Structure formats: C-alpha cells, structure tokens
Amino acid sequence: MRYIISLTLVLAALWLAISGVYKPLILLLGVGSVALVVWLSLRMEVVGVEHNPVLFSWRLPLYWFWLVWQIVVANINVGRLILSPGRIHPRMLSVPVRHKTAVAKVAYANSVTLTPGTVSLLLNEDELTVHALDTRSARELEAGTMAERIAWLEGSATEQK
C-alpha cells in the first residue's frame, strides 16, 4: 500500500510538472491517466519490486552532487586524452562488489559507466568487469572511493567485512 501511494504521488507530481495547463477537464484526464498507470503497474506486478526505500534518503542528493563533480573531473581527463590519443592505455579489469542489495549494485555499475573513462561490461554477484580507457581511470576505480560512497548510500558501510 505504501508503494502504491508513493507511486501515485510521484506520477501526479510528474503530470502537474509536464502539463502546465490547470483546467478541470485536463486535470480530470490527469487523474485518469495516473489511475490507469497505477492499475497497469499493479497488473504487471512491478509495484514495490524495484524500489528500495533505503536509497530514498537525504544521502541521495549529496551522492548526486558528488557524482556530478566526479563526472566533470573524469570528463576533463578524457577530453585531454582525446586531444592527444597517443596516451590512451585501454585495458580490462575486475573490481569487487561488496554491496548487499541489487539496487546498490546497479547504482554502482551505472555510476561507473556514467563517469567517462570507465564502462562496466559485466556485473556478476560480487564482481564487476570494467573496460578502462587509461591507467588513471583504472587506478581511481581500484581505489574504491565510489564503492565506499555507494556503501554509504546503502547505509551498510559499517557492516562491511
């Protein structure tokens, strides 16, 4: 029930933000489409399966700001490599994934792909195979800062072995 309410609220906010026309008929259509989408989601049995309330905390915006900063830094690095392509040093590497929930693992793999210089190729139970463009990107990934941040986001940093 909690998931249905949160889904309805998010969908209603999305409708209000995108529509921009607040007349009775349009609002009625909005209520109808929100109800339709919620009903379809219930029929597809995807409500509550894929969201983890742990990740929707005050830590998420902080993580996003940190990630945007990482993206900018990595972009400058890759931009310099593009202008002098002799320095690229592509290789494959594997890094351990110690997060417990699937959401945290996927968030980690997505963050790795989102920072240029590293692309995640394969995510197993406890290992992530990555293609790195140069030694610096590979070193930064192996240092594990991003994995620690995700663990902090997951809230299980203290429980790790």
Q: Which residues of this protein are in contact with other proteins, per CB under 8 A? A: 14, 17-18, 20, 68, 71-72, 75, 78-79, 81-83, 85, 88-94, 109-111, 113-124, 129, 131, 133
Residue 5: CB minimum distance to other proteins, A: 22
Residue 7: CB minimum distance to other proteins, A: 17
Cα distances (angstroms) measured from residue 25 to each of 28, 46, 50, 135:
5, 30, 33, 59
Q: Which two tokens stand for residue 123?
A: 């995510």
In the bound state with other proteins, the residue whose beta carbon lies nearer, of 112 and 151, is 112
Residue 158: CB minimum distance to other proteins, A: 28
In the bound state with other proteins, the residue whose beta carbon lies nearer, of 36 and 157, is 36
Distance CA 148, CA 153 (A): 9
Total H helices, total E strands in the chain: 6, 3
Buried b / exposed e over 47-70, threshold 16 CB at 10 Å, is bbeeeeeebeeeeeeebeebbeeb
In the bound state with other proteins, the residue whose beta carbon lies nearer, of 5 and 82, is 82
In the bound state with other proteins, the residue whose beta carbon lies nearer, of 6 and 129, is 129
Residue 161: CB minimum distance to other proteins, A: 22
In the bound state with other proteins, the residue whose beta carbon lies nearer, of 33 and 160, is 33
The alpha carbon of residue 15 and the mean position of all alpha carbons in its chain are separated, in whole angstroms, by 23
CA 15-102-157 angle, to 5 degrees, is 105
Residue 155: CB minimum distance to other proteins, A: 22
The alpha carbon of residue 23 and the mean position of all alpha carbons in its chain are separated, in whole angstroms, by 36
